[in-house]
Amino acid sequence: MYPANFDYQKAASVDAALQAMADNPDLKVIAGGHSLLPAMKLRLAQPPALLDIFNLEELKGIKEDGDFYVVGAMTTHADVLRSQLPLFPEVAGWVGDPMVRNRGTIGGSLAHADPSADYPAAALATGAEFVIRGMGGERTVGADEMFLGMFESAVQHGELLTHIRIPRGISASVYEKYRHPASHYAIVGVAMARHADGQIRAAYTGAAEKAARLPKLEERLNAGQDAGTGLVEGADMLGDRFASAEFRAHLVDVLSDRAAKRLG
């Protein structure tokens, strides 16, 4: 299968990438390409021009900055898996397979905001921050403001997600996932993290049109109670031929309970 024809250029720097996007509104950014290229091969996406940012060294690697780890957006899942980050290495181990993890990037995945991707749950549970740069400058978006809808993140056209800031003070974290056996995407995933102040944050992915926090679960766990059931009662769950909305809601309860027991 071939994608439809397109023009291709490699970005020399983040600044050059932003300028290129300002000059040509048709440019579509490609990172590891493991969501975009499959969609292009199926002609579900036919961007007229690609801007490749995968090799930008300024967007690779993990540094420490005060109370945060700062992760370059083009850091691959394989590098996240081998890192000392809280929660994200366990989550990365659930993404795709080893070859996919060698190409796919944390920033590409988070900016893409696939409702079944694993990282959004981890970002919400850890309270990650997103550094987004545009021609007008840089802004930082909190995890709760990052995922706006199905395949819709806070990263706007003409902007690049450059770094993900992850708090260093997380003392314990877990990820529980019920995965689709062929695609390996999450039918439901639940991420949980205990923060420096002792409070637990939890979020799910795969179950609805976007990843979201689990306020009822957080309230119960922070009050010393069990996870219980009915955690997403009344919420609008996804239903498809793989799993009904009711089953997904049930999985949120089951995986939350397992996660809470593992978190201890």
Partner 1 sequence: MNVTMNVNGKPYTRDVEPRTLLVHFLREDLLLTGTHVGCDTSQCGACTVHVDGEAVKSCTVLAVQADGMDVTTIEGIGTPGDLHPLQTGFWEKHGLQCGYCTPGMIMASAELLKHNPSPSEQEIRYHLEGNYCRCTGYHNIVKAVQHAAEIMAQGGQAGGQAADD
**Contact residues for partner 1 (CB under 8 A)?**
1-8, 33-34, 37-38, 41-42, 50, 52, 54, 78, 96-100, 102-103, 182-184
Q: Which two tokens stand for residue 60?
A: 């690779």
Q: How far apart, in whole angstroms, are the C-alpha atoms of residue 208 and residue 116?
A: 8
Residue 54 or 147 having the CB closest to partner 1: 54
CB closer to partner 1, 73 vs 128: 73
Considering beta carbons, is residue 99 or 135 the nearer one to partner 1? 99
Min separation Cβ 77 and partner 1, Å: 12
Whether 166 contacts 68, CB under 8 Å: yes
CB 168 within 8 A of CB 67: yes
Least distance from C-beta 32 to partner 1, angstroms?
9
Q: How far is the CB of 103 from partner 1 (least distance, A)?
A: 6
Choice between 21 and 125, CB closer to partner 1: 21
Min dist CB 241 to partner 1, Å, is 18
Alpha helix positions (H), 46-141: 77-81, 88-92, 98-103, 106-112, 119-126
Take residue 5 and report the two structure tokens written for it.
């024809």
CB of 211 to partner 1, least distance (A): 22
Between 19 and 55, name the residue whose CB sits nearer to partner 1. Answer: 55
In sequence order, what DSSP letters do the residues of 141-206 get, joined into one string? Answer: EEGGGTEEETTEESPPTT-EEEEEEEES---EEEEEEEE-TTT--EEEEEEEEE-TTS-EEEEEES
**For partner 1, which is the closer residue by CB, 77 or 194?**
77
Whether residue 234 contacts residue 216, with contact meaning beta carbons closer than 8 Å, is answered with no
Minimum CB separation of residue 96 from partner 1 in Å reads: 7
